[in-house]
């Protein structure tokens, strides 16, 4: 299912040519201006260039966090980095996905590799619908007979209870989607749940290992959303919240296995043009806003993953402005036991 983009978003009318719409709506920092490090943070001398909208995933088989591409200071990127024990290392695989941002990337524990799907680039508004795996430092393009249509900003997580990757929604050439797909053993399968979240892109999504379901929050729907949904055994369920983060697009959201809760950071509100620097946790159906003594600066589309080897959440970069061109960051932060470092 999908809906038309024939509505006003942040002053953009449906009559605007699609090339312009993509330029303004697509959060892939290709037209980004140069960024810098967050004050007070001293990353290692070797680290990825400033960027946003680059997914990260922990590769459990190889024991490190993997980062690919994203929107850089002047172009879309196609570089591959690993992070382990506080050290960034650039890899140079001979084959890799093309430059892109706002793709989805997760570790597929059943199949033992990192899975990447879709994304976009600003030069010409290209959308991707390709599927890649990463294992042992090697990118491999798959050719499934069926797959989601080309899109960006989709939500994706590995459903550990049901043993497959789940993909939801995203933005196509002219429409937002609310279709649900699973990926297992090299095969994409579209599900037809009777109830599903409204169409959206740029939502937060993570597998909640403590509660045993996939958790989805917010994103850009008819307007910015702050609804919370769970997904289990092929069924979407809206969660009733008395307290929740404010409406937002493009937050960082991962499951912290050591502290046994989902962590959400940042994002933006398109209605008020506000960038957030707040930290929230989710556990047993309850959102809780945290008050760390120090915090990373406000940003959208931060690169974020849970580093199982080091037992903390790691966050890199993001966009520190909400207008085009976007200022991009290159700072590295960790979060554990309620403390940002």
Q: Which residues pair with 158 in a beta bridge?
A: 165
Whole-number Å distance between alpha carbons of 87 and 84: 5
Q: Edge-to-edge strand order for the sheet containing 127-135?
A: 104-108, 113-120, 127-135, 138-142
HSE-CB for 75 with a 13 A CA cutoff: 5
Distance, CA of 256 to CA of 269 (rounded, Å): 25
CA 170, distance to chain mean position in Å, is 11
The pLDDT, as a whole number, for residue 71 is: 93
Name the percent of the chain lying above pLDDT 90. 81
Non-local (6+) Cβ contacts of 118 within 8 A are 103, 104, 127, 128, 129, 130, 148, 150, 151, 152, 154, 170
Q: Closest by alpha carbon to 172, among 204, 128, 203, 115?
A: 128
CATH number at residue 224: 2.120.10.80
C-alpha to C-alpha distance for 253 and 305, rounded to whole angstroms: 8
pLDDT at 13: 28
Q: Is the pLDDT assigned to residue 7 strictly greater than 90?
A: no
Cis amide leading into 325 (omega within 30) = yes
Per-residue model confidence as pLDDT tens digits over 18-58: 333 333 333 333 333 333 333 333 345 799 999 999 999 99
Mean pLDDT calculated for residue range 279-288: 98
- State the total domains in the chain: 1
Q: Which domain holds residue 110?
A: 2-340
Q: What is the pLDDT of residues 200-239, one digit of tens each?
A: 999 999 999 999 999 999 999 987 889 999 999 999 999 9
Residue whose C-alpha is closest to residue 291's, from 340, 221, 253:
340
> Around Cβ 211, how many Cβ atoms within 10 Å?
19
Q: Are 58 and 114 in contact (CB under 8 A)?
A: no
Q: What is the reported pLDDT for 40?
A: 32
């Amino acid at each position: 299912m999908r809906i038309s983009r024939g509505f006003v978003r942040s002053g953009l009318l449906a009559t605007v040519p699609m090339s312009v719409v993509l330029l303004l709506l697509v959060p892939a920092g290709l037209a980004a201006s140069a960024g810098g490090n967050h004050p007070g943070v001293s990353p290692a001398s070797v680290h990825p260039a400033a960027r946003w909208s680059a997914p990260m995933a922990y590769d459990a088989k190889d024991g490190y966090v993997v980062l690919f591409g994203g929107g850089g200071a002047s172009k879309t990127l196609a570089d591959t980095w690993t992070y382990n024990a506080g050290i960034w290392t650039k890899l140079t695989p001979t084959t890799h996905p093309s430059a892109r941002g706002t793709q989805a990337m997760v570790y597929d524990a059943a199949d033992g590799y990192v899975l990447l799907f879709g994304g976009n680039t600003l030069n010409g508004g290209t959308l991707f619908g390709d599927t890649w795996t990463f294992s042992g430092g090697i990118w491999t393009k798959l050719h499934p007979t069926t797959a989601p249509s080309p899109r960006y900003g989709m939500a994706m997580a590995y459903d550990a209870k049901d043993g497959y990757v789940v993909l939801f929604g995203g933005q196509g050439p002219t429409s937002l989607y609310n279709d649900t797909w699973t990926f297992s053993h090299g095969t994409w399968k579209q599900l037809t749940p009777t109830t599903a979240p409204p169409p959206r892109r740029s939502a937060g999504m993570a597998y909640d290992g403590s509660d045993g379901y996939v958790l989805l929050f917010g994103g850009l729907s008819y307007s910015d959303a702050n609804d919370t949904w769970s997904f289990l055994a092929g069924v979407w369920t809206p969660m009733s919240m008395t307290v929740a983060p404010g409406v937002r697009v493009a937050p960082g959201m991962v499951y912290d296995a050591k502290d046994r809760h989902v962590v959400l950071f940042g994002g933006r509100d398109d209605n008020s043009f506000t960038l957030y620097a707040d930290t929230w946790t989710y556990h047993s159906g309850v959102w809780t806003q945290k008050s760390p003594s120090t915090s990373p600066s406000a940003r959208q589309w931060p690169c974020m993953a849970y580093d199982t080897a080091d037992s903390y959440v790691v966050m890199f970069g993001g966009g520190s402005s909400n207008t085009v061109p976007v200022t991009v960051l290159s700072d590295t932060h960790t979060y554990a036991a309620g403390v940002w470092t």
